[in-house]
Amino acid sequence: MADKPTLGTSLSKTMQELTRIIEESDDEEEQKKALAQLRRAHRMLDVLVDERVKKNAPEYEAATQALEEANDALVAARKESATFAEGLQKVAKALGLLAKLVKAFG
Amino acid sequence: MRRRSRRARSQRTAPVRQMVAFVLLWWTIVSTGCGLTAAQKAAIGHFSRATAAVGEMTADELAKMREGVIQGNTSTLIIIGEDRPAPGESAKRTALITPTTVERQLTIENISRIGHAAKALQSYGELLQALAEDTQATELRGAAEAFVANLKAVPSVSLEEKEADAITAAVYAVGRLLVEMKKAKAVRAIVPTAASHVDKLTDLLAAEFDPDRDGSLGSAFRAAANRLRGEGAAAFPKATTAADRAVILPAWEYGRMASLRSDEIHKRASDAVASIQKSHRLLVEALKTDRWTAEDVKGIVSEFDTELKVLGKVTAELLERSKLLK
């Protein structure tokens, strides 16, 4: 069974159809009626967009913040990957110093 | 008590040290199964490619949509003079086009919020890929070689060349194992945690561009375009001067071009975002199972080529010594 059309999709389709009628019709009266309905549909659709934008704003912000935290975790994970090599370099340097000391005082 | 020479001591302890390096090396190479599989890395690559440029694409298209709505509503107001509700129509005042509200919901604040979200999504894909690709191989090789070279320089330490090679190989392999384990652990923790937020964001973005979705900015753009087309088409036959027609005709044409943009580009943008969601879900699924394949084994053999050759030499020597001891 097909999904029931929502108000927004109905308004959108209605506007497209009315636009087509206005552009193609030679009948002034038909054009005038279609134009009045087009304006009305536009205003109704605009109200829906307003409501949706207000509803979505906090959802966008919450999801964006969560993703930014994930990004921070990925950056930290990459830094952590470098710690073994860095640690090993430090041990290597310490061994080098030790070798020099032993030679100097040995 | 006979004093044992340093050389004799070295000959007796050399097989022990080789055995330790052998066992360590073998265990670490085999244990690299704790890292990401080839299938998991491929899923990360696929997701990363899907998100590439989504940040720029979203920001560009939203800017064009804002410009289009402003231009369209401005032209509509020029043609009609004033947007008024019909007699008996209970329209909200905020739904009327006025000179100060031509941008409607495509305000700088709204499009910045959406653009920021898309950029976070793009960064997430880039950072995942960067983590998956980062092997620290060059750094680890250098550190392992420096470690063993300096170890050899300590006067009380005596290492034969083969032993030094085996220890270098083992240290490198341990380092690579640790890097792969840490990477895999991080990805397996971060991706599932981010999954619901990626789903949410991609749902929101895909809907935003889809002109057929309720209350989307895409539908607002198309509505402004159709409104302009209707006003232009109705006003043009009534225009009495060339000056009037010179205003109405380009506006009408602008409306038609904007409708085409809505049909062609916005729907595709919406589909591109939907594919990002799909590829992230595939990545989440891939991370649930560690299926090691022949491709994974080939990868390990290829990466640890040097270490495996050292392993082979150490093994052969140990076997030879064990024959001599019989």
Give pLDDT, residue B68.
96
d(CA A33, CA A43): 16
Counting one residue from chain A and one from chain B, the pairs whose CB atoms sit within 8 A come to: 225
| CA–CA distance, B265 with B268 (Å, rounded to integer) | 5
The answer to whether B28 touches B174, Cβ cutoff 8 Å, is yes
CA angle B21, B23, B28 (to 5 degrees): 95
Using a CB–CB cutoff of 8 Å, tell me whether A5 touches chain B: no
Query: Does residue B221 register a pLDDT over 60?
Result: yes
Q: For testing the chain B interface, which of A11, A46, A61, A101 should be mutated: the one with the most B CBs within 10 Å? A: A46
A101 touches B at CB < 8 Å:
no
Q: Which chain A residue shows the shortest CA-CA distance from B132?
A: A78
- Region of residue B292 (phi > 0: left; psi between -120 and 50: alpha; otherwise: beta): beta
Yes or no, beta carbons of B110 and A57 under 8 Å apart? yes
Rounded percentage of chain B residues whose pLDDT exceeds 70: 87
Average the pLDDT over B97-103 and give the result. Answer: 94
Residue B253 has pLDDT above 60, yes or no: yes
Going by pLDDT thresholds of 50, 70 and 90, the confidence category of residue B15 is low
For residues B301 and B275, the model is more confident at B275
Query: Identity (one letter) of the amino acid at B212?
Result: D
Mean pLDDT of B260-283: 93
The rounded distance, in Å, linking the Cα atoms of B287 and A94 is 40
Q: Per-residue confidence at B107, pLDDT binned at 50, 70, 90?
A: very high
Q: Could B136 and A81 be called an inter-chain contact, meaning their C-beta atoms sit closer than 8 Å?
A: yes
Per-residue pLDDT at A1: 42
Q: What is the pLDDT of residue A29?
A: 94
pLDDT bucket at A91, cuts 50 / 70 / 90: confident
Residues in Cβ contact with B71 at an 8 Å cutoff, skipping those fewer than 6 apart: B254
Q: What value does the CA radius of gyration of chain B take, rounded to a whole number of Å?
A: 34
Give the model's confidence band at B124: pLDDT under 50 very low, under 70 low, under 90 confident, else very high.
very high
Pairwise CB contact (< 8 Å): B156 & A98: no
* Helix, strand and coil in chain A, % to nearest 5: 90, 0, 10
Distance in Å, alpha carbon of A2 to nearest chain B alpha carbon: 15
For residues A45 and A12, the answer to whether their CB atoms sit within 8 Å is: yes
Task: Render pLDDT for B142-184 as a digit per residue (tens, 0 to 9).
Answer: 888 888 888 888 877 788 888 888 888 888 888 888 888 889 9
Q: Suggest the residue from B106, B227, B262 to mutate for an interface test with chain A (most A CBs closer than 10 A).
A: B227
Residue B1, pLDDT score:
47
pTM for this predicted structure: 0.84
Q: Would you give the DSSP letter of residue B3?
A: P
Contacts of B148 (CB under 8 A, 6+ apart): B159, B164, B167, B168, B171
pLDDT of B28 reads 58
Whole-number percent of chain A with pLDDT over 70: 95
For residue B151, give the nearest of A50, A62, A95 by CB distance.
A95
- Give the residue with greater pLDDT, B2 vs A11: A11
User: For residue A45, what pLDDT is reported?
Assistant: 95
Amino acid letter, B30: V
Distance CA B186, CA B205 (A): 27
Query: Is B223 in contact with A42 (Cβ distance < 8 A)?
Result: yes
**Rounded distance between C-alpha atoms, residue B244 and residue B235, angstroms:** 9
pLDDT digits (tens, 9 = 90+) for A53-83: 999 999 999 999 999 999 999 999 999 888 8
